[in-house]
Chain A
Amino acid sequence: MKKFNPTLLLSCLILLIVSGTALALTGIYHLEDTPGSTASFETVHKVDTESFERSEAKTTLDGGTYANIMQNAQTEKPIASTAEKGMTIGEIMRWAGIVAIVVAIVILLLIEFIYRDRINPMNYRILLIISLFVLPMIVGLGTSATVLETTKSVQSCGSCHVMDPFVDDLFDAESTTLAARHYKNKWIPKYQCYTCHTTYGAHGTFEGKRDGFRHWLLFVTGTWDEPISYSGSYPNMNCTSCHAGTNAFQQVKSHRALSSKLRADEVSCTSCHGPAHPTPKERVASTDQQEIEQRSTSAMRKIGPEELNSLVEALDE
């Protein structure tokens, strides 16, 4: 034991941890959606937030809803409100991670270089364990939670171009799809895709991972079918967890008549209230429209100034 040089070992460990943490922190900060990246996202998807000002009739929902809980915003009354939502789990975890790593480094520096000889070996070892294993574990957790949390954002879903028609529709103030209406009326204040597409509970988490994996496989192998469609029956629970408790829902006789079928997902809420997203025909139509617009812009750019002049002259004549 005597030949063993703890200082060298420790220095190596510290170097490792510091560089690891630096990497993690860079990752965390990069994942954070800076105003810049949001802005560029909004340009790509033509978000016209001003046109959202006129909103549909006030939502009749009241009380804490699952959407709020999902977003860690239980305190908020109606989900229509866009007021401060406090910290999200992701933010808390991010800060926990940062604090943990800073504390770990400070402890290591202190016990190694200042208090090395002044504390008893038992305490030294405990502090070592804390700063080398426990705190880094928190950092690890914080990082994954942050990643999980940021992938809930609409931006994250929209980064895959397969989702373009859906994300574009979400930001279209004139669209009447369920998704767009929930978005523009702020019935779901954030994580709009995620809130309706991950079934709640542990089973939902499993389904979410499974679907994510499948989608990824289809994507990288280029084997998905256009137009993409929802596989299987949509779990109505995603809708009813917010709506079922409301008067507006319970008053509708058709809801009562179909209650068992709705519970069993034999009839989807979207059967009457859809479409949730643009129908395949509408997706193609909007893409065609965009293509036409693009073609005309590019055609315009190709006309040189001389040609333009001659055109104007021709018109004058």
Chain B
Amino acid sequence: MSKKDGINRNKEHPTSPDTASDKYDGLSRRDFMRIASLSAAGVFTGSLMSGCGELWERQPVIDVDSWHQGVCRFCGTGCGIKIGMSDGKVVDVKGDPAAHNRGRLCIKGILNREILYVEDRALYPMIRKNGELERASWEEAMELIASRFSQSIQNSGPDSVAFYGSGQLFTEESYSANKLFKAGIGTNNVDGNPRLCMASAAVGYTSVFGKDEPMGCYEDTDHADCFFVTGSNMAECHPIVWERLQDRKRSNPDTFLIVVDPRKTRTAEHADLFLQIKPGTDVALYNSMIYEFYRRGLVDLEMIEDYLSFQSGSNSITEEQFRSHLEKYTPERAASVCGISAEQIREAAFRFGNSPATMSFWTMGLNQQIQGTAANRLVMAMHLLTGQIGRPGATPFSLTGQPNAGGGVRDTGSLAHALPNGRLVANPKHRKEMEELWNVPEGTISPNPGHHAISLFQAMNSGDVECALIMSTNPIQSLPNILPYRDAMENAFVVVADAFHPTETTKYADVVLPAAMWAEKGGVFSQSERRYHYVPNLVEPKGEARSDFDIIIDLADRLGHGDLFPNRTQADIWEEWRKISAHSTYNFEGITYERLKNQPGILWPCPDEDHPGTCRRYVPGEDPLVKDEDARLDFYGRPDGRALIYLHEQGEPYENQNEKFPLLLTTGRVLEHWHTETITRRVDDLKNIKTDFLEVHPADAARYGLQDGDDVRVASRRGDAEFVTRITDDIREGLVFATFHSAKHLVNKVTSDAVDPFSRQPDYKRCAVSIEKA
């Protein structure tokens, strides 16, 4: 009975397993009862059994022939799923109990089962002729693209072409595109939507620890005693990580939850302490909390002594200088800036610093600000200064928004300033290393950083960039201040590869390529906690669609760079990539396709094939790359092993409210829809979920004569958009909120493209607007 090994049958006789079997000799009273009553039932049931499934056993409502391990198509939580196939179609999707999500999914995860079969899938290539997109053959489309790209490269140099990618491409795809453009064509004009989403966190981690990506993992949630959730509506945007946080509170009700957000989100509703600050004032809040750490003696002296240095801009400073800067941020002063009480700040600081283990979560609320990098660095500083780091449950953890922004874009360095595995374009040594690893002549990689997202579209508008390939994203809806970028699309030759048409972006494309999506192609995704996991290829692409990988390789061949990809398959690219990673502190050489296909993901670093993966980086005993095993922590990403504490002042808003634009606008999401709704809006079950609303405080509604349900126009210095009024006191007075989901109600006509000076990430979370009844 080897099957029953998992069951401990000897519990009542722990020390004498032999006697345990006594219980099974003969029939116990209950067994007797069971036999007696079941024999009767047996006569009845037995006569009905004869092969009729339902009569013998409960049947699944959906017939499934086979189940396959995979990953959700949507958010950065990256839930493990089981994909049910029948007759070559995806018919069912359920959570994978063996994955970190314990079998749970949110509604989007469940509806993965529908997304391949919704309307408006792009089915064949299209070329714009006389202003209209017309059906074309792949050969014709690819030939046109190759000739336009070659022409521009020849006439205006390699920097006249660009790639705009996505955190939704597989790692192999982003890596190949990055290699083609940087090592083949010779331009660093490779950027993508992660710039709009993760750039501040990436710059934050890199500048503080020397290397990107969080050091903690989801498992830390199970050990934290205090959660500091700032600028994140986890309950709606990362629902399954949120469930895990809730689980922690359920099993340990003393767990304390602090939420910082200008809106009383569904996350904030569960907070033990809710700091409803004014948007864009969190730098003052964090400074003030650090001030409190010092005042209360919550600062970890060992950390300061051995593991930290202080920095202002690019100059190092002393701890005293840092402390004297904090004097400006007493809770009283910060309170007046943030619009909350000093007592709340003191309480938050005390809870944060004093709990046995504090874990922070943040996302777009922090990243999408002109002080995004500053905010990221300060949250990390709070953990470093209080020593809330490197223990189970103590970690600063940034959540990603897309299914593959971390592994696909940040780790492969598919950004304008970056090279793979944390290397920088601007660093000659890094360039040389990559040229050697990629086996291309020295000097191939351009020393000039390329255009970051916003500047890329500006360059397309001005004509500096003539051709662009956009893959798996919808920038003409997701970029801030989109109106001028529509012109950019008109001015440049733009190829858009997407699984759907029309989208706001394909509308303006010169060539539309139909792309395979999700289970129509296989590849590696990564999620917030450095977990690499695998999506299997299970079905044929719709229509003539091809995978983005095939498109990139085809383009490489036509541009004469086919030799960059000597082996043509995605599996070969993965082999190449994992081996390259071994030459860096991002070492995941041990993560093979084979392993990924057999388990729900592995967290890197993972240097060899027997390594189980790493939960906590920089921690001796856990991280295989740590050199000093006796230390408390080893920040090996930094040359001196010391993490940096940055000094940042609360800045002024980039645009002021005035009589004409008296209110502030902030943007966000709802649980049921995702990004620009390209996929989710087309799923039948989600069609009735509204995303066209503008949340308005009752006092503002009264001031502007708005009733619930009224059409309302929001206008900024850049543009205006119409929404439907939703009156709620969950929002601060003077602030309005809209989602960026709806293509019909484009909030990004209103938002501003002002960017963070370090990360170049735009500020979607705060701009001055006016509202009026439409």
Beta-carbon contact of B104 and A275 below 8 Å: yes
Complex Cα gap A165–B9 (Å): 10
Beta-carbon contact of A214 and B57 below 8 Å: yes
**Residues on B with beta carbons closer than 8 Å to the beta carbon of A297:** 14-15
Complex Cα gap A159–B12 (Å): 12
| In the complex, A317 has a CB within 8 A of chain B | no
Complex Cα gap A258–B114 (Å): 13
**Residues on B with beta carbons closer than 8 Å to the beta carbon of A115:** none
Beta-carbon contact of B688 and A256 below 8 Å: yes
Q: Can you list, as one digit per residue, whether each of A246-267 has a CB less than 8 Å from chain B (1) or not (0)? A: 0000000110111001001111
Complex Cα gap A256–B35 (Å): 45
**Residues on B with beta carbons closer than 8 Å to the beta carbon of A7:** none
Beta-carbon contact of A147 and B105 below 8 Å: no
With A209-B45, A210-B45 already in contact, the answer to whether A261 and B3 are too (CB < 8 A) is no
Interface stretch (choices A83-91, A101-109, A284-292): A284-292
**Residues on B with beta carbons closer than 8 Å to the beta carbon of A201:** none
With A175-B251, A267-B110, A297-B15 already in contact, the answer to whether A279 and B688 are too (CB < 8 A) is no
Chain B residue at minimum C-beta to C-beta distance from A282: B102
**Residues on B with beta carbons closer than 8 Å to the beta carbon of A301:** 15
Beta-carbon contact of A279 and B102 below 8 Å: yes
Beta-carbon contact of A290 and B11 below 8 Å: yes
With A280-B98, A290-B8 already in contact, the answer to whether A176 and B110 are too (CB < 8 A) is no
Complex Cα gap A258–B30 (Å): 42
Beta-carbon contact of B45 and A283 below 8 Å: no
Q: Which of A151, A207, A275 contacts B58 (CB 8 A)?
A: A207
Least distance between A47 CB and chain B CB atoms (Å): 13
| In the complex, A30 has a CB within 8 A of chain B | yes
With A161-B7, A253-B672, A257-B672 already in contact, the answer to whether A265 and B104 are too (CB < 8 A) is no
Beta-carbon contact of A258 and B15 below 8 Å: no
| In the complex, A233 has a CB within 8 A of chain B | yes
With A231-B57, A258-B110 already in contact, the answer to whether A279 and B6 are too (CB < 8 A) is no
Beta-carbon contact of B56 and A176 below 8 Å: no
**Residues on A with beta carbons closer than 8 Å to the beta carbon of B253:** 54, 56
Chain B residue at minimum C-beta to C-beta distance from A299: B15
| In the complex, A211 has a CB within 8 A of chain B | yes
Interface residues of A in 43-74 (CB under 8 A from B): 44, 54, 56
Beta-carbon contact of B685 and A258 below 8 Å: yes
Complex Cα gap A261–B35 (Å): 38
Residue with the greatest number of chain A CB neighbours at <10 A, chosen from B45, B55, B59, B686: B45
| In the complex, A133 has a CB within 8 A of chain B | no
Least distance between B282 CB and chain A CB atoms (Å): 28
Beta-carbon contact of A275 and B110 below 8 Å: no
Beta-carbon contact of B38 and A212 below 8 Å: yes
Beta-carbon contact of B8 and A164 below 8 Å: yes
Least distance between B80 CB and chain A CB atoms (Å): 11
Complex Cα gap A44–B29 (Å): 19
Q: Which of A156, A159, A222, A257 contacts B107 (CB 8 A)?
A: A257
Beta-carbon contact of A254 and B45 below 8 Å: no
**Residues on B with beta carbons closer than 8 Å to the beta carbon of A253:** 670-672, 689
Complex Cα gap A226–B685 (Å): 36
Beta-carbon contact of A266 and B62 below 8 Å: yes
| In the complex, A92 has a CB within 8 A of chain B | no
Chain A residue at minimum C-beta to C-beta distance from B248: A176
Interface residues of B in 1-47 (CB under 8 A from A): 1, 3-9, 11-12, 14-15, 28-30, 33-35, 37-38, 41-42, 45
Complex Cα gap A281–B45 (Å): 34
Beta-carbon contact of B57 and A232 below 8 Å: yes
With A175-B251, A298-B15 already in contact, the answer to whether A162 and B103 are too (CB < 8 A) is no
Beta-carbon contact of B98 and A258 below 8 Å: no
Q: Which of B4, B12, B34 contacts A216 (CB 8 A)?
A: B34
**Residues on A with beta carbons closer than 8 Å to the beta carbon of B37:** 147
Q: Can you list, as one digit per residue, whether each of A195-219 has a CB less than 8 Å from chain B (1) or not (0)? A: 0000000000001011111101000
Complex Cα gap A273–B62 (Å): 20
Beta-carbon contact of B61 and A233 below 8 Å: yes
Q: Which of B11, B12, B59, B98 contacts A232 (CB 8 A)?
A: B59
| In the complex, A316 has a CB within 8 A of chain B | no
Complex Cα gap A263–B107 (Å): 15
**Residues on A with beta carbons closer than 8 Å to the beta carbon of B685:** 257-258, 261
Beta-carbon contact of A272 and B105 below 8 Å: yes
| In the complex, B656 has a CB within 8 A of chain A | no
Q: Which of B11, B30, B60 contacts A164 (CB 8 A)?
A: B11
Beta-carbon contact of A275 and B102 below 8 Å: yes
| In the complex, B252 has a CB within 8 A of chain A | yes
Least distance between B155 CB and chain A CB atoms (Å): 52
- Chain A interface residue count: which class? 35 or more
**Residues on A with beta carbons closer than 8 Å to the beta carbon of B9:** 161, 164
Least distance between B428 CB and chain A CB atoms (Å): 48
| In the complex, B95 has a CB within 8 A of chain A | yes
Complex Cα gap A266–B60 (Å): 8
**Residues on A with beta carbons closer than 8 Å to the beta carbon of B703:** none
Q: Can you list, as one digit per residue, whether each of A172-183 has a CB less than 8 Å from chain B (1) or not (0)? A: 011110000100
**Residues on A with beta carbons closer than 8 Å to the beta carbon of B28:** 159
Q: Which of A31, A209, A281 contacts B97 (CB 8 A)?
A: A281
| In the complex, B94 has a CB within 8 A of chain A | yes
Beta-carbon contact of B11 and A209 below 8 Å: no
**Residues on B with beta carbons closer than 8 Å to the beta carbon of A82:** none
| In the complex, B490 has a CB within 8 A of chain A | no
| In the complex, B340 has a CB within 8 A of chain A | no
Beta-carbon contact of A176 and B106 below 8 Å: no
Beta-carbon contact of B14 and A284 below 8 Å: no
| In the complex, A307 has a CB within 8 A of chain B | no
Beta-carbon contact of B250 and A176 below 8 Å: yes
Least distance between B603 CB and chain A CB atoms (Å): 16
Beta-carbon contact of B103 and A227 below 8 Å: no
Beta-carbon contact of A272 and B689 below 8 Å: no
Least distance between B40 CB and chain A CB atoms (Å): 9
Residue with the greatest number of chain A CB neighbours at <10 A, chosen from B12, B28, B61, B672: B61
| In the complex, A271 has a CB within 8 A of chain B | yes
Chain B residue at minimum C-beta to C-beta distance from A46: B11
Least distance between B598 CB and chain A CB atoms (Å): 14
**Residues on A with beta carbons closer than 8 Å to the beta carbon of B250:** 56, 176, 181
| In the complex, B649 has a CB within 8 A of chain A | no
With A30-B29, A210-B56, A253-B672 already in contact, the answer to whether A164 and B7 are too (CB < 8 A) is yes
With A181-B250, A233-B61 already in contact, the answer to whether A257 and B689 are too (CB < 8 A) is yes
Q: Which of B7, B11, B41, B686 contacts A257 (CB 8 A)?
A: B686
Beta-carbon contact of A222 and B1 below 8 Å: yes
Beta-carbon contact of A271 and B104 below 8 Å: yes
Interface residues of B in 230-265 (CB under 8 A from A): 239, 247, 250-253
**Residues on B with beta carbons closer than 8 Å to the beta carbon of A175:** 251
With A226-B3, A279-B97 already in contact, the answer to whether A214 and B61 are too (CB < 8 A) is no
Interface residues of B in 68-124 (CB under 8 A from A): 94-95, 97-98, 102-107, 110
Beta-carbon contact of B6 and A226 below 8 Å: yes
Beta-carbon contact of A274 and B689 below 8 Å: no
| In the complex, A117 has a CB within 8 A of chain B | no
**Residues on B with beta carbons closer than 8 Å to the beta carbon of A283:** 6
Least distance between B106 CB and chain A CB atoms (Å): 6
Least distance between B171 CB and chain A CB atoms (Å): 26
Beta-carbon contact of A272 and B33 below 8 Å: no
**Residues on B with beta carbons closer than 8 Å to the beta carbon of A265:** 61
Complex Cα gap A262–B88 (Å): 25
**Residues on B with beta carbons closer than 8 Å to the beta carbon of A257:** 107, 672, 685-686, 688-689
Subset of 10 A-B contacts with CB under 8 Å: A156-B30, A210-B41, A231-B57, A254-B107, A265-B61, A271-B103, A272-B105, A273-B104, A274-B104, A294-B14
Q: Could you tell me which A residues sit within 8 Å of B by CB distance?
A: 30-31, 44, 54, 56, 147, 151, 156, 159, 161-162, 164-165, 173-176, 181, 207, 209-214, 216, 222, 224-227, 230-233, 253-254, 256-258, 261, 264-268, 270-275, 279-284, 287, 290-291, 294, 297-298, 301
Known contacts A213-B42, A216-B38, A274-B104; can you find 13 more A-B pairs with CB under 8 A?
A54-B253, A174-B251, A209-B41, A210-B45, A212-B34, A214-B56, A216-B34, A226-B4, A226-B7, A254-B671, A271-B104, A274-B102, A284-B6
